[in-house]
Amino acid sequence: MLHILNHGSSVKSVPIDQAFTLACAWFAALNARAPLLAIGPLLPLVIDDFHMPFTIAGLLSGLPLLLMGATGLPTRPAGSSCSGSAWS
Protein backbone atom coordinates (compact mmCIF):
# COMPACT_ATOMS: atom_id res chain seq x y z
CA MET A 1 0.00 0.00 0.00
CA LEU A 2 1.11 3.50 -0.82
CA HIS A 3 0.00 6.28 1.52
CA ILE A 4 -1.06 9.57 -0.07
CA LEU A 5 -1.87 12.78 1.81
CA ASN A 6 -5.44 13.88 1.10
CA HIS A 7 -7.04 17.29 1.51
CA GLY A 8 -7.40 18.17 5.18
CA SER A 9 -4.29 16.24 6.27
CA SER A 10 -5.93 12.83 6.10
CA VAL A 11 -3.92 9.90 4.74
CA LYS A 12 -5.38 7.68 2.03
CA SER A 13 -3.99 4.26 1.15
CA VAL A 14 -3.69 3.41 -2.54
CA PRO A 15 -2.77 -0.07 -3.80
CA ILE A 16 0.68 -0.28 -5.39
CA ASP A 17 -0.73 -1.46 -8.75
CA GLN A 18 -2.91 1.64 -9.03
CA ALA A 19 -0.02 3.89 -8.07
CA PHE A 20 2.17 2.15 -10.67
CA THR A 21 -0.52 2.58 -13.34
CA LEU A 22 -0.85 6.27 -12.49
CA ALA A 23 2.94 6.73 -12.61
CA CYS A 24 3.12 4.99 -16.01
CA ALA A 25 0.33 7.19 -17.39
CA TRP A 26 2.11 10.29 -16.09
CA PHE A 27 5.41 9.28 -17.72
CA ALA A 28 3.63 8.46 -21.00
CA ALA A 29 1.99 11.89 -21.01
CA LEU A 30 5.33 13.52 -20.24
CA ASN A 31 6.99 11.70 -23.14
CA ALA A 32 4.14 12.55 -25.52
CA ARG A 33 4.84 16.27 -25.17
CA ALA A 34 8.09 16.24 -27.16
CA PRO A 35 6.62 15.37 -30.59
CA LEU A 36 3.87 17.95 -30.12
CA LEU A 37 6.26 20.72 -29.16
CA ALA A 38 9.06 19.87 -31.60
CA ILE A 39 7.24 20.74 -34.81
CA GLY A 40 6.87 24.47 -34.02
CA PRO A 41 10.52 25.52 -34.17
CA LEU A 42 11.19 23.20 -37.12
CA LEU A 43 8.18 24.28 -39.20
CA PRO A 44 9.98 27.04 -41.17
CA LEU A 45 12.69 24.56 -42.16
CA VAL A 46 10.11 21.96 -43.20
CA ILE A 47 8.21 24.54 -45.27
CA ASP A 48 11.38 25.60 -47.09
CA ASP A 49 12.71 22.09 -47.70
CA PHE A 50 9.46 20.62 -49.01
CA HIS A 51 8.14 23.80 -50.69
CA MET A 52 5.00 23.32 -48.64
CA PRO A 53 2.08 25.79 -48.62
CA PHE A 54 1.28 27.37 -45.26
CA THR A 55 -2.13 25.70 -45.18
CA ILE A 56 -0.59 22.23 -45.38
CA ALA A 57 2.03 23.22 -42.81
CA GLY A 58 -0.73 24.29 -40.44
CA LEU A 59 -2.49 20.97 -40.92
CA LEU A 60 0.80 19.16 -40.35
CA SER A 61 1.36 20.92 -37.04
CA GLY A 62 -2.21 20.21 -35.89
CA LEU A 63 -2.32 16.59 -36.99
CA PRO A 64 -0.79 15.01 -33.84
CA LEU A 65 -3.24 16.89 -31.63
CA LEU A 66 -6.21 15.85 -33.77
CA LEU A 67 -5.14 12.21 -33.82
CA MET A 68 -4.57 12.09 -30.07
CA GLY A 69 -7.98 13.66 -29.53
CA ALA A 70 -9.67 11.19 -31.88
CA THR A 71 -8.05 8.14 -30.32
CA GLY A 72 -8.81 9.38 -26.83
CA LEU A 73 -12.57 9.45 -27.40
CA PRO A 74 -14.44 7.03 -25.17
CA THR A 75 -15.77 3.97 -26.93
CA ARG A 76 -18.07 1.28 -25.68
CA PRO A 77 -17.16 -2.38 -25.68
CA ALA A 78 -18.39 -4.44 -28.62
CA GLY A 79 -21.75 -6.06 -28.05
CA SER A 80 -22.82 -3.71 -25.27
CA SER A 81 -25.65 -1.24 -25.21
CA CYS A 82 -25.90 2.05 -23.38
CA SER A 83 -28.67 2.45 -20.80
CA GLY A 84 -28.51 5.79 -19.08
CA SER A 85 -24.96 6.59 -18.08
CA ALA A 86 -23.78 2.99 -17.57
CA TRP A 87 -22.66 0.41 -20.09
CA SER A 88 -24.53 -2.86 -19.92
Convert the pLDDT of each residue in 7-20 to its tens digit: 566 656 667 778 78
**Residue 77 belongs to some domain of the structure:** no
**What domain range is 20 assigned to?**
2-68
**Residue 47 belongs to some domain of the structure:** yes
Average pLDDT over residues 44-73: 86
**Residue 41 belongs to some domain of the structure:** yes
Convert the pLDDT of each residue in 13-39 to its tens digit: 667 778 788 888 888 888 877 777 788
**Residue 21 belongs to some domain of the structure:** yes
**Residue 19 belongs to some domain of the structure:** yes
**Residue 15 belongs to some domain of the structure:** yes
Task: Name the helix (H) or strand (E) containing 67.
Answer: helix 54-71
Residue 65 contacts by C-beta under 8 Å, 6 or more apart in sequence?
A: 36
Distance from C-alpha of 19 to C-alpha of 14, rounded to nearest angstrom: 7
Among 75, 39, 84, residue whose Cα is nearest residue 57: 39
Q: Based on the structure, what is the number of domains in the chain?
A: 1
Distance from C-alpha of 86 to C-alpha of 29, rounded to nearest angstrom: 27
* Contact (CB, 8 A) for 4 and 14: yes
**Residue 86 belongs to some domain of the structure:** no
**Residue 48 belongs to some domain of the structure:** yes
